[in-house]
């Protein structure tokens, strides 16, 4: 078995069940890679999971003024530290498709509590998809056997958020439009998924479009915050 991040061999004893049923063997990180990624722990902002807060953070207070009728709730798994930035760079920008399995165990655990939710990943523009060859969010969800619904599409192509500073990100125009599938979310619970939450601009734009279709609830999720 190889580490799902560094691809080095992992030497460990298999359980009896894994010997009998090899398909039960899940991708995992070696001990060194396991230590690189820090899971988010309390205290966190109760609405966006920003570490270090016990009440609604200053960013969420600003978003609430802009979206007073949106009951915002975001959750994330890992701190956006240097190790996670390096993983994103290798996976998303260098196109190392093997890294889609790096966090499969944690993703499956989180989504085991979202069985009755409609899952929507942030879409790429056609141009960006052709350049990259895959949607990085859709890929890590599919690898974890998470079914997604194409509720959104990018109506315009813009510079990647990673190429913008904070103010430029916050000032980004609405880039999403609903698909013909979106009408199905009325009175349903919807979870919008992205890889990283930085300013929140992308996720709020996505929620803004979906809210018009009267879902019961909208929440958001990212691997890192």
- pLDDT per position as a tens digit, 155-207: 887 767 666 788 888 888 999 999 999 999 999 999 999 999 999 999 999 99
Domain co-membership, 139 together with 167: yes
Query: What pLDDT is attached to residue 165?
Result: 83
Domain co-membership, 12 together with 73: no
For residues 222 and 180, give the distance between their C-alpha atoms in angstroms, rounded to a whole number. 25
Query: What pLDDT is attached to residue 78?
Result: 98
Query: What pLDDT is attached to residue 60?
Result: 97
Domain co-membership, 17 together with 96: no
Domain co-membership, 121 together with 180: yes
Q: Could you tell me which residues come within 8 angstroms of residue 20 by beta carbon, excluding any fewer than 6 positions away?
A: none
**Beta strands of the chain (E only): which ranges?**
74-78, 118-121, 152-154, 176-178, 189-196, 217-224
Q: Is the pLDDT of residue 149 over 90?
A: yes
Domain co-membership, 6 together with 81: no
**What is the radius of gyration, based on Cα positions, of the chain?**
18
Query: What pLDDT is attached to residue 16?
Result: 53
Query: What pLDDT is attached to residue 21?
Result: 53
Residues 141, 107 contacting (CB under 8 angstroms): yes
Which residues make beta-bridge pairs with 39?
78
Average pLDDT over residues 198-224: 97
Domain co-membership, 105 together with 21: no
Residues 69, 204 contacting (CB under 8 angstroms): no
Query: What pLDDT is attached to residue 135?
Result: 97
- In whole angstroms, how far apart are CA 140 and each of 24, 102, 108, 113, 223? 18, 8, 10, 17, 10
Q: Is the pLDDT of residue 18 over 90?
A: no
For residues 111 and 105, give the distance between their C-alpha atoms in angstroms, rounded to a whole number. 10
Query: What pLDDT is attached to residue 177?
Result: 97
Asked whether the whole model's pTM tops 0.85, one would answer: yes
Q: Is the pLDDT of residue 3 over 90?
A: yes
Domain co-membership, 56 together with 11: no
Domain co-membership, 116 together with 66: yes
pLDDT tens string 44-83: 999 999 999 999 999 999 999 999 999 999 999 999 999 9
Query: What pLDDT is attached to residue 14?
Result: 59
Domain co-membership, 138 together with 214: yes
Domain enclosing residue 155, as ranges: 37-224
DSSP-based three-state secondary structure for 143? helix
Domain co-membership, 187 together with 111: yes
Q: Is the pLDDT of residue 17 over 80?
A: no
Domain co-membership, 4 together with 46: no
% pLDDT > 90, the chain: 80
DSSP-based three-state secondary structure for 222? strand
The total of structural domains in the chain comes to 2
Other Cβ atoms closer than 10 A to 94: 10
Q: Is the pLDDT of residue 15 over 90?
A: no
| pLDDT bracket for residue 100 (50, 70, 90) | very high
Average pLDDT over residues 97-111: 97
Query: What pLDDT is attached to residue 167?
Result: 86
Residues 148, 119 contacting (CB under 8 angstroms): yes
Angle between helix 136-143 and 104-111 (nearest 10): 80
Polymer length in residues for the chain:
225
Query: What pLDDT is attached to residue 20?
Result: 55
DSSP-based three-state secondary structure for 40? coil
DSSP-based three-state secondary structure for 2? strand
Q: Could you tell me which residues come within 8 angstroms of residue 216 by beta carbon, excluding any fewer than 6 positions away?
A: 187, 188, 189
| pLDDT bracket for residue 10 (50, 70, 90) | confident
Domain co-membership, 94 together with 51: yes
The CATH number of whichever domain residue 208 belongs to comes to 3.40.50
């Amino acid at each position: 078995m190889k580490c799902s991040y560094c691809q080095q061999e992992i030497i460990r004893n298999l359980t009896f069940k894994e010997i009998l049923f090899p398909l039960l063997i899940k991708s995992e990180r070696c001990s060194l890679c396991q230590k690189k990624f820090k899971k988010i722990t309390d205290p966190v902002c109760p609405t966006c999971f920003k570490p270090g807060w016990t009440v609604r953070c200053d960013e969420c207070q600003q978003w609430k003024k802009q979206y007073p009728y949106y009951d915002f709730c975001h959750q994330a798994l890992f701190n956006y530290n240097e190790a996670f930035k390096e993983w994103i760079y290798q996976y998303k920008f260098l196109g190392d498709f093997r890294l889609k399995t790096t966090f499969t165990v944690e993703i499956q655990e989180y989504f085991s509590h979202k069985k009755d939710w409609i899952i929507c990943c942030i879409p790429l523009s056609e141009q960006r998809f052709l350049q990259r060859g895959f949607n990085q969010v859709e890929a890590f969800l599919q690898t974890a056997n998470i079914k997604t619904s194409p509720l959104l599409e990018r109506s315009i192509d813009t510079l990647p958020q990673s190429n913008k500073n904070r103010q430029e990100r916050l000032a980004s125009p609405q880039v999403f439009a609903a698909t013909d599938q979106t009408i199905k979310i009325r009175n349903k619970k919807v979870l919008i998924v992205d890889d990283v939450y930085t300013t929140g601009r992308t996720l709020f734009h996505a929620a803004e479009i979906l809210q018009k279709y009267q879902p019961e609830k909208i929440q958001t999720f990212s691997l890192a915050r």
